[in-house]
Amino acid sequence: MATGFDSQRRLPSQEKLFLDYVQRLHDHKEGRRLLHIHMSGLRPYNRRDHHLRIAANGFEQVIKSLQGQLFTLASSDLILVFRREAQSEVETSVVKLRFLFGDDPLLIPESDGVDRFCTWYDADAQYTDILDLARSLVADEKAREAQVEAEQEAKAALRVKQEFGEPITPRTLARLEEALSRADLSNMVRRQYASAIVGSAAPQPVFSELFISIGDLREAMTPGIDLAANRWLFQHLTSVLDRRVLSLLRKDDYFTLSGDISFNLNVVTLLSPEFLAFDDSVTASRRGTMMVELQRIDIFRDLGAFMFAREFIKERGYRLCLDGLTRDTLGFIDREGLGFDLVKLIWSPDMATEDEREIDHLRDLVARVGGDRVVMSRCDTRQSIDFGQAIGVGIFQGRHVENLIAEEHRKQDLLQRKRRRG
């Protein structure tokens, strides 16, 4: 999977290990040699997984006899550090490799006589060169990783952009509302899990949010219209959707959903007859498993109305979540004072920073709200979760979290099948 999030990536990279090793080598460099095999220079058809495996296996004996250590770099280059005593054995292996890749242009000798497949170093004489090599490898790897992340973020941004179109107008909104009154929205309801993620362990679902996918809605009813182009018309649209969500939720299939659920509503909706009817249809015990998400913009619309609605729905037993916080607004909010059980912090790529002071600041803000009370939402990349964890967030939601959950399910399936077979 392209967005594959494997636990290995959280381990120190081979480049980093190599650098550590080289630094420790400083006092033991006598009699050591180093071989850098430029696998990355081979043609793509020559560096598939099995080629790399065969190449690495060629040095198995040296490694097993504790005469050498092999590093497999992300670029697929190999680096072998070995004792002088193993020189001939290593050379034999290299000959085999040259034979194996004999058809590759990389191995065709050039007039200058430079070997572009292998570079040899003597640790004693060329220690500084080796150290430079190790450092540049670490730097390259960092840059490469940053680029992968940037690409992931760019892809995520592109997905958002593709959803743009003609800006919504009162007329298109009226058309949409009319269509909505006749449409069956049940197939547009999406469910996304907010999950606790600790370190690189598998996500543990805390609750799931039910929502109507605006993208699907647009696709089906107003293709080519950017529904979010005008903030006020969009807010109005959400209040129209609220009523539809409530009537959908009253259907049995949603009541039998397992686990705690959450859904977005406007403050005005909480005071409407539709919500009272919904409330009547929910058993008291079920209310405790339901959380109402309110938008930040909506509670500031009329704080008095919010306070009244809050008292009402808390008294009925529902829980409350404040949605739509950003890095900028997290510090403004007194979660406890406003009476929210949870708050949602929207991830955006520009939140990521390496500035330690900024990270400390964010960590403080999260701690003040309560790390287990903050859900980082719209986590579409691995980076978002890494950063969230770094600032003390405990719960995550978004496409990447969904991927992780799916991956975990596949893993469990596989294990089960294995067990059955075994």
Partner 1 sequence: MEDTVPTTHNPTLGIAGEEPPLVDHLRRIRNNRQGCIAIHIHLSRLRPYHREAAHVRIAVRAFENLSNNYDANLYVAANCDLVLMCRDVRVNDIDVVIRKLRNLFAEDPLIFGEDGGRGERFASWYDLEIDYGLFQSMLDDLIEDGLRITEDKDAASSEVVLGKPIDARALAAVVDRLQHTRIADLISHQAAVEVGGDGGRLLFREHYVSIADLKKRVAPGVHIMSDFWLFLYLTEILDRRILAVLGRRDFAAPGRPISLNLNISTVLSADFDAFAMRVGPNGDKVVVELQQVDVFADLRLFREARDRLRRRGFAVLIDGLHPLALQYFDPLPLDVDYIKINWSGNLLSSEFKGRLRQVRDSLAEIRDTVVLARIDDEDAIKVGMEIGVTRFQGRFIDRLVSAMTAGGRA
Residue whose CB is less far from partner 1, 36 or 327: 327
Least distance (Å) from partner 1 to the CB of residue 152? 23
Scored b (16 or more CB within 10 A) or e, 252-268 reads eebeeeeebbbbbbbbe
Q: Does 73 bind partner 1 (CB under 8 A)?
A: no
**For residue 295, what are the β-bridge partners?**
323
Q: Does 272 bind partner 1 (CB under 8 A)?
A: yes
Cα gap 144→142, rounded to integer Å = 5
Using the rule CB under 8 A, give the single segment among 36-44, 51-59, 303-311, 388-396 that binds partner 1.
303-311
Q: How is residue 391 annotated by DSSP?
A: T
Interface with partner 1 (CB under 8 A), residue from 6, 60, 166, 302: 302
Q: Does 333 bind partner 1 (CB under 8 A)?
A: yes
Q: Does 231 bind partner 1 (CB under 8 A)?
A: yes
User: Is 396 in contact with 203 (CB distance < 8 Å)?
Assistant: yes
Cα gap 351→199, rounded to integer Å = 20
Residue whose CB is less far from partner 1, 44 or 273: 273
Site string for partner 1, 313-332 (x = CB under 8 A): --x----------x-xx-xx
Cβ-Cβ contacts under 8 Å for 12 (sequence gap 6 or more): 20
SS (H, E, C) 52-95: HHHHHHCCHHHHHCCCEEEEECCCCCEEEEEEHHHHHHHHHHHH
Interface with partner 1 (CB under 8 A), residue from 28, 161, 171, 418: 171
Cα gap 403→152, rounded to integer Å = 14
Q: Does 338 bind partner 1 (CB under 8 A)?
A: yes
Interface with partner 1 (CB under 8 A), residue from 250, 301, 368, 399: 301
Closest CA to 347 of 294, 401, 299: 401
Residue whose CB is less far from partner 1, 174 or 201: 174
Site string for partner 1, 358-377 (x = CB under 8 A): --------------------
Using the rule CB under 8 A, give the single segment among 187-195, 308-316, 383-391, 412-420 that binds partner 1.
308-316
Cα gap 275→414, rounded to integer Å = 44
E strand or H helix at 357, and its extent?
A: helix 356-369
Using the rule CB under 8 A, give the single segment among 84-92, 187-195, 229-237, 250-258 that binds partner 1.
229-237
Closest CA to 63 of 43, 83, 49, 47: 83
Interface with partner 1 (CB under 8 A), residue from 236, 250, 287, 399: 236
User: Is 222 in contact with 261 (CB distance < 8 Å)?
Assistant: no
User: Is 37 in contact with 52 (CB distance < 8 Å)?
Assistant: no
Closest CA to 318 of 212, 207, 194: 207
Q: How far is CA 201 from CA 270, 365, 373, 401, in A?
A: 38, 25, 19, 12
Q: Does 226 bind partner 1 (CB under 8 A)?
A: no
Q: Does 170 bind partner 1 (CB under 8 A)?
A: yes
Least distance (Å) from partner 1 to the CB of residue 315? 6
Using the rule CB under 8 A, give the single segment among 16-24, 130-138, 196-204, 305-313 that binds partner 1.
305-313
Q: Does 277 bind partner 1 (CB under 8 A)?
A: no
Residue whose CB is less far from partner 1, 92 or 281: 281
Number of residues that bind partner 1 (CB under 8 A): 41
Q: Does 296 bind partner 1 (CB under 8 A)?
A: yes
Interface with partner 1 (CB under 8 A), residue from 61, 126, 230, 389: 230
Residues that bind partner 1 (CB under 8 A): 169-171, 173-174, 177, 230-233, 235-236, 239, 268, 271-273, 276, 279, 296-297, 300-305, 307-308, 311-312, 315, 326, 328-329, 331-334, 337-338
